């Protein structure tokens, strides 16, 4: 399995799940209450939901550009800054869905002609605080790209749950139902 084969489907399935959860929030709570969720946080020192959505999208885009060995486009910095400043303005469900849809389209398009990067390719991963991690491409995918995406997607899931959106484990792993053996789904209780 290549790094692309590991990373791209993971990005696609988790971002699609995030989009479905936001749709469920809007359906369950109504558009106005659901829009209020964009500023909801799990703790006062954590980023709000809209930031978690933006950062999920940033992680997916960064991973694709890194595996393509391309510089990050300016649009990625814009998305990152929207996330960082999310608490300073009101964001809507449509804004969140647009960020996810744009990222899904970018990942799909960029991965279509992505070469398979050798796992041992060096990756220097710099953080805004000046820290630099020297990794192989395989280590980057395993130890940074996937865990960071899951961190922000899970934070979004937790915020939605904490705000009363009815989600369960089946919503988090909805992609697994494609592999369900026929006749093994338990009857509802």
For residue 71, what pLDDT is reported?
Answer: 92
List CB contacts of 64: < 8 A, sequence separation 6 or more: 7, 8, 11, 106, 107, 110, 111, 114
The number of angstroms, rounded, from the C-alpha of 45 to the middle of its chain's C-alpha atoms is 20
Q: Which of 25, 23, 14, 8 is nearest to 173 (CA)?
A: 14
- Whether residue 35 contacts residue 90, with contact meaning beta carbons closer than 8 Å, is answered with yes
For residue 37, what pLDDT is reported?
Answer: 93
CA atoms within 13 A on the CB side of 66: 27
The number of angstroms, rounded, from the C-alpha of 98 to the middle of its chain's C-alpha atoms is 13
Q: How far apart are CA 75 and CA 121, in angstroms?
A: 26
All structural domains of the chain: 3-179 (1.20.120.450)
pTM across the whole model: 0.92
For residue 138, what pLDDT is reported?
Answer: 95
For residue 14, what pLDDT is reported?
Answer: 97
For residue 31, what pLDDT is reported?
Answer: 81
For residue 89, what pLDDT is reported?
Answer: 83
Q: How far apart are CA 113 and CA 80, in angstroms?
A: 25
Profile the chain (189 residues) by mean pLDDT over runs of 10 residues: 92 97 94 87 95 97 93 93 86 94 95 88 91 96 96 97 94 91 88
């Amino acid at each position: 399995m290549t790094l692309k084969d590991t990373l791209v489907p993971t990005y696609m399935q988790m971002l699609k799940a995030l989009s479905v959860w936001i749709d469920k929030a809007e359906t369950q709570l109504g558009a106005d209450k659901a829009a209020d969720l964009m500023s909801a946080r799990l703790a006062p020192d954590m980023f709000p939901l809209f930031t978690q959505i933006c950062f999920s999208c940033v992680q997916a885009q960064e991973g694709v550009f890194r595996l393509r060995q391309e510089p990050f486009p300016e649009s990625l910095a814009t998305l990152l800054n929207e996330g960082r400043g999310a608490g300073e303005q009101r964001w809507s469900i449509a804004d969140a869905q647009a960020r996810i849809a744009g990222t899904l389209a970018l990942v799909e398009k960029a991965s279509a002609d992505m070469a398979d990067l050798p796992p041992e390719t060096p990756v220097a991963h710099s953080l805004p605080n000046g820290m630099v991690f020297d990794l192989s491409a395989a280590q980057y995918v395993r130890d940074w790209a996937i865990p960071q995406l899951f961190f922000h997607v899970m934070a979004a899931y937790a915020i939605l749950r904490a705000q009363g959106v009815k989600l369960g484990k089946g919503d988090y792993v909805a992609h697994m139902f494609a592999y369900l053996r026929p006749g093994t789904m338990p009857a509802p209780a």
